[in-house]
């Protein structure tokens, strides 16, 4: 990790000292655990019938691949989380696992957003800010480095795009 990245971690993590900022990013992070995406899939089925079901199945398949991929990468890289590497960085919520690289929340958010927007571009005003907030939450909450989030963004975009190529609807 570079000195510049470390400095970004410290600055972003200090934003979490503000109760309203911390509450917002905790809520976004919790929703990014899956609840937001499951609700989106259910809404697609209810609002768009069989087409919504097909898109939801594609989202679920993409999510499963994302889960397997990010878990393998975390075990392979074994990068410690920022709060574990620097006592000045506080974990504003408990992490779901031990390692930092890549951000699974961000990877999923970007992959899901990529697939969903390919089918429902009108959802952009909802999904783009949510995915960006999920990504930012990971650094603010002291759970990831900016490079974890940037790499996860690239991987999520590639995975979502690959899903659209392999499973065209």
- Residue 1 pLDDT: 62
- Identify the sign of the CA torsion 147, 157, 130, 143: negative
The model's pTM is: 0.94
Given a contact cutoff of 8 angstroms between Cβ atoms, the answer to whether 95 and 81 are in contact is yes
List of domains in the chain: 3-166 (1.10.606.20)
Two tokens, residue 37: 């995406």
Per-residue tens of pLDDT for the chain, all 169 residues: 678 888 889 899 999 999 999 999 999 999 999 999 999 999 999 999 999 999 999 999 999 999 999 999 999 999 999 998 888 998 999 888 889 999 999 999 999 999 999 999 999 999 999 999 999 999 999 999 999 999 999 999 999 999 999 988 7
How many other CB atoms sit within 10 Å of the CB of residue 71?
Answer: 13
Identify the pLDDT of residue 86: 83
- Residue 133 CA to its chain's centroid (Å): 9
pLDDT of residue 168: 82
Q: Collapse the DSSP code of 99 into the 3-class scheme (helix H, G, I; strand E, B; otherwise coil) and give the result.
A: strand
Cβ neighbours, 10 Å, residue 87: 7
């Amino acid at each position: 990790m570079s000195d510049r990245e470390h400095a970004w971690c410290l600055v972003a993590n200090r934003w979490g000292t503000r109760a309203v900022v911390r509450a917002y990013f905790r809520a976004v992070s919790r929703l990014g655990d899956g609840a937001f995406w499951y609700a989106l899939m259910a809404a697609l089925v209810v609002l768009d019938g069989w087409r919504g079901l097909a898109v939801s199945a594609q989202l679920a398949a993409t999510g499963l691949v994302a889960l397997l991929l990010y878990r393998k990468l975390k075990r392979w890289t074994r990068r410690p989380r920022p709060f574990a590497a620097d006592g000045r960085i506080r974990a504003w919520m408990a992490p779901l696992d031990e390692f930092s690289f890549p951000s699974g929340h961000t990877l999923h958010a970007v992959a899901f957003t990529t697939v969903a927007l390919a089918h429902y571009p009108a959802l952009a005003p909802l999904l783009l800010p949510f995915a960006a907030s999920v990504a930012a939450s990971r650094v603010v909450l002291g759970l990831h480095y900016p490079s974890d989030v940037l790499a996860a963004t690239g991987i999520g975009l590639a995975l979502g795009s690959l899903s659209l190529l392999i499973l065209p609807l």
